[in-house]
Each structure stands twice: as structure tokens, then as C-alpha cells.
Structure 1
Amino acid sequence: MKSVSALFAAVIGVATVPAQAEISTEAARAGVAPFYRALNAEFASESADLIRQATAADWVSCRGNADCNTRDQVIAGIGQRLKSVPDLKWEIKEIAVSGDQVTVRGEATGTPAGEFMGAPHSGKSFKLMSIDVHTLQGGKMVRSYHVEDWIGAVRQLTAK
């Protein structure tokens, strides 16, 4: 018996693409965990190695459909972020898996050491949510799309 999507594709004359093998939640967590560890100030000295451990050499991280950074650009950016928020902590709160895609709901907390994204230094902390969709192949991240609530973080830092 054909699947509904295969029948639909046959009716409209489109070839179907075989689904990727489902990654287990445990394998997904193991694949992305080093990356999230790299985002934590506690592991700042290991950050570049942790990112390399979690990603393929040609991995890209995208903030938009075509606004992507290479692995080396991400490593440089994370180093700068960890300096500006010396107590940054990023946690995996939830993982969902579909085929070779891993969606992570994360949470970041921290207290900037100085001016941050235009917000003057106030000594206040922030907590934000992130949503990341990673494609894994061979246990490594090959492409990531991410959204973080940095506007909400700035609002928290400037609230009276």
C-alpha cells in the first residue's frame, strides 16, 4: 500500500523523495550537545573544539534563508559573545526529531559585562528563548537555522 504522500505525488506527477532515516532522540542529543556546550562561558576555552566536534567541515549556520555563516565565522562570533557575556549559559530545554532534522528549544541566560546590542551596561541579566533546526548527517550538524529573542533580552536589560 502506498503512503498518502506517494499517492498524492503520483496523481500530480511529482517524484517523491525517500525520507531520511529517523535519528533517535538520544543520537540527536549526542550530536548537538557539544555545540550547546560551546555556547557556555564555562567551556569558553574549549568552544572552538566543541563546535568542530559537533559540525561537519562545511557546516553553515543561518539566521535567515540566505544569511549564513561558515563554521570559522561562527567560532569567531561565539568567542566575541562569550567575552561580552562572561557568564553566558545556554541550555537545551527540549529536542524534537523528524528524519535527519533536530529541532532544539533552548534557553540562554547571562549578564553582559558592558554595553550590549545598544543597551547601556546596567548590571542586569537576561533570559531568552532560542529555536534551532539542525540537519544532521553522520552524527554531525551540516546546516543549522536559528532564531533567538535578542530583542527580548535587550528589553530586559533596559527595563526600569
Structure 2
Amino acid sequence: MTVDGLPDDLNALKAMVLSREAENAAYVRSSRNCSVTALVAALFVGNAALAEAQNQPAAIAVKWYEAFDENRPDILEAILSSNWQELPSEPEVARGAQSATSGLKMLHTTFPDFRIAIDDIVTDGNKVVVRSTITGTQMQPFAGLAASGRKIRIQAIDIHLVEDGKITKTWHSEDWMTGLRQLGAFER
């Protein structure tokens, strides 16, 4: 799947840019009027395309899922604005990356094998909608439930607003009714 004509995988994107750089460099070298300036310009265009692609809203939103999947709070700190807000959220929840990193740490403590996989991405300007699947095994108390060793598999849907290269808001919805059922919350 591609987003806005770009490959899903950042490595594939880098390979595409490097291939274009090589094509541009080969063309410039083969030209009779080859100049150092033209060669540098060709390489710059390739690197600028890679930098621009990495700053696209979809690429920035994908980093959110990398952070949660790989337990990397440093990624969240890099991509969230200082006043990032999760919606809906409790009134006392602080804005900013610290709120998200606390959630990340809690999830990886409670579900040590926590994983999140992107299923779909849709972009509309600077909004990115992501449907994902969350899995994990509950090894610590969660939502009033003792550690059960049970596995969860739930769906989440997020809408990320990206402004000036940072996520400023995330509307977040997870299917915790299914998760709580899987953890035995409704057993009699």
C-alpha cells in the first residue's frame, strides 16, 4: 500500500530517492555540458525529496505507531508538539508528549509483548486517519483486573492533525469492550 504515491516502508522510499539520485548523477555526467553545479543540484533534489517525504503528515503519523510498537518514547517526544492533545481525554490530563509517553510505558509494562500494526492509512491534507490492530498479553493489573496472562487483539482508529511537522492533536478510539471481554472482565 502506498500513501500519496510514496512507498509504505521508509527504506523503500530511501532506495527510490537514491535510485533517482543515481539516475540524475548519471544523466549529468553523460551530458556534454556537465558541470559540478549541475551534479550538486541533481543530488540536492534527491535529498530534498527524501526530506520532504519524511515530513509529510502520513510519514509523521507512522512514527507514532513505530514509537508504540517499539516502546520508543523518544520518537513521541520528537513528533508531538509541546501542546499535543489526545481527544477525548480526561480534563486533568496534561498536554504534550509526557502524557503519551506515560501511556506508552503503562501499555508496555502491562502488556510486555505489546504490538501495534497499521492496517490502513488515509490522508486528507494535514489530517491522517489510521486503523490499527493492537495485541498483547496482560501480565500486570489493568482496568481493575488482576494480571490474567490472557491475550488481547483489538482495533484502534486515530485521526492525527499534523501542523508544522508535528502532531498537534490525536482523536483516539480503541475497542476496549472487546479487549475487556478478552481479559475476562464480563465472565460470571
* Bin of the TM-score, shorter chain as denominator length: 0.7 to 0.9
**Is residue 134–residue 154 contact of structure 2 (8 Å, CA) maintained in 1?**
yes
Moved more, 139-148 or 56-65: 56-65
Q: 1:30 aligns with which of 59, 79, 102?
A: 59
Pick closer, same or farther for the CA change 1:66–1:145 going to 2, 3 Å: farther
Unaligned runs of 5+ in 1: 1-22
Pick closer, same or farther for the CA change 1:25–1:116 going to 2, 3 Å: farther
**Is residue 115–residue 136 contact of structure 2 (8 Å, CA) maintained in 1?**
yes
Pick closer, same or farther for the CA change 1:69–1:96 going to 2, 3 Å: farther
Q: What letter matches 2:125 in structure 1?
A: G
Unaligned runs of 5+ in 2: 7-55
Pick closer, same or farther for the CA change 1:131–1:69 going to 2, 3 Å: farther
1:154 aligns with 2:183: no
TM-score (normalised: structure 2): 0.63
Residues 93-151 of structure 1: per-residue CA shift (max 9 Å, x gap) = 10111121110001100001133222333321010000101111133211111000112
Secondary structure (helix, strand or coil) at the match of 2:182 reads: helix
Higher relative contact order (CA 8 A, sep 6+): 1
Instruction: Compute the displacement of 1:66 (Å).
Output: 6.7
Alignment of 1:67-86 (within 5 A): 69-70=94-95, 71-86=97-112
**Higher alpha-carbon Rg:** 2
2:88 equivalent in structure 1: 63
Instruction: Compute the displacement of 1:68 (Å).
Output: 5.9
Flag the structure with higher helix content. 2
* Distance in 2 (alpha carbons) for counterparts of 1:25 and 1:150: 34
Flag the structure with higher strand content. 1
Using the aligned pairs only, state the percent identity. 25
1:115 aligns with 2:152: no
Provide runs of 4+ in structure 1 moved above 4 Å.
64-69
**Is residue 154–residue 176 contact of structure 2 (8 Å, CA) maintained in 1?**
yes
Alignment of 1:2-21 (within 5 A): none
* Distance in 1 (alpha carbons) for counterparts of 2:67 and 2:120: 18
Aligned positions, number: 134
* Distance in 1 (alpha carbons) for counterparts of 2:126 and 2:116: 23
Instruction: Compute the displacement of 1:67 (Å).
Output: 7.9
TM-score (normalised: structure 1): 0.73
1:90 aligns with 2:116: yes
Pick closer, same or farther for the CA change 1:38–1:25 going to 2, 3 Å: farther
